[in-house]
Amino acid sequence: MTAVTVEHLTRRYGDRVILRGLNLHIARGEFVALLGESGCGKTTLLRAIAGLDRVDGGRIIGSGRPAVVFQEHRLLPWYTVWRNVALGLPEADGKRLAEIALGEVGLGDRQEEWPRNLSGGQAQRVALARALVQEPHLLLLDEPFASLDALTRIRMHALVKQLVARHQPGVLLVTHDVDEAIALANRALIMRDGRIVAEYTVSPGANARRSHPDAVSLREVLLDQLGVPADAVAA
């Protein structure tokens, strides 16, 4: 089942072409990581799919509204944790569904907390609960772990993997982090100059262990694609 199909997507800012006839297909249950240098258009693509930016050409075909987790948690400071999660839900079962979603991200006991009392990792988990409670067919992750410390990031990876396996949305993860892409994705895409220029399958072995041979070789290839050759990493 399709989570989203993007056909010939074009986006310009003045003279600059950000997206050049980009094509992309993500199935439900599939985890796709989108890698690329800053300014290659990956965030523009994600925002276009989210419906936050208009496009100049092409089509985005999806079913229902995608959910988005941004780099910042974007919790409303004037709502308690559960109200933030229940934001887009119908009033009647908002509280109940929010409770379940918060339980899933391990914050069942922080429902009545103000967002300002949460740590960065906790706030991002609430943001994840807020996205998943919508039961989206497509989950868009815009560098959601970039501002977390390294240990929290690793824990978040495990949590996201587990939740995606349970809810089976299609996922598009925009990231700079090659290791993150290898740990989470089934497929890693390289974007350059507004196009997807390469595509790699990530084996389950590579997902599971950093030191797996598949992971090691894929890391080298991806870094090379991003302009960081292996000998530079070694040095």
Partner 1 sequence: MSDILPLAASRVQQRRTVWAPRLRPLPLGKGFLPWIAPLTILLIWELFARLGGLSPNILPAPTKVAATAVKLIENGQLLPDLAISLMRALAGFVIGGSIGFTLGIAVGFSRLAEALLDRTIQMVRAIPFLAVLPLVIVWLGIGEGAKIFLVALGVTFPIYINTVLGIRQVDPKLLELGRVTGLSDWKLIRCIVLPGALPSILTGVRYALATAWLALVVAETIAASSGIGFLAMDAREFLRTDVIVLAIVIYAGIGVVADSIARFLERRLLAWHANYAPGARS
Residues that bind partner 1 (CB under 8 A): 50-52, 65-68, 70, 72, 74, 76-79, 87-88, 114-116, 130, 134
Measured from the CB of residue 164, what is the shortest distance to partner 1 in angstroms? 18
Measured from the CB of residue 87, what is the shortest distance to partner 1 in angstroms? 5
In this structure, the number of other CB atoms found within 10 A of the CB of residue 211 comes to 7
Give the pair of three-digit tokens for residue 150.
């390294």
**Is 235 exposed, middle or buried, given 0-12, 13-18 or 19+ CB atoms closer than 10 A?**
exposed
Give the up-direction half-sphere exposure of residue 43: CA atoms within 13 A in the CB hemisphere.
Answer: 11
Nearer to partner 1, 107 or 138 (CB): 138
Measured from the CB of residue 112, what is the shortest distance to partner 1 in angstroms? 12
Nearer to partner 1, 64 or 103 (CB): 64
Nearer to partner 1, 74 or 195 (CB): 74
Nearer to partner 1, 9 or 138 (CB): 138
In this structure, the number of other CB atoms found within 10 A of the CB of residue 150 comes to 7
Name the H helices within 71-149.
81-85, 91-104, 120-132
Nearer to partner 1, 134 or 207 (CB): 134
Measured from the CB of residue 198, what is the shortest distance to partner 1 in angstroms? 29
Measured from the CB of residue 4, what is the shortest distance to partner 1 in angstroms? 14
**Is 49 exposed, middle or buried, given 0-12, 13-18 or 19+ CB atoms closer than 10 A?**
buried
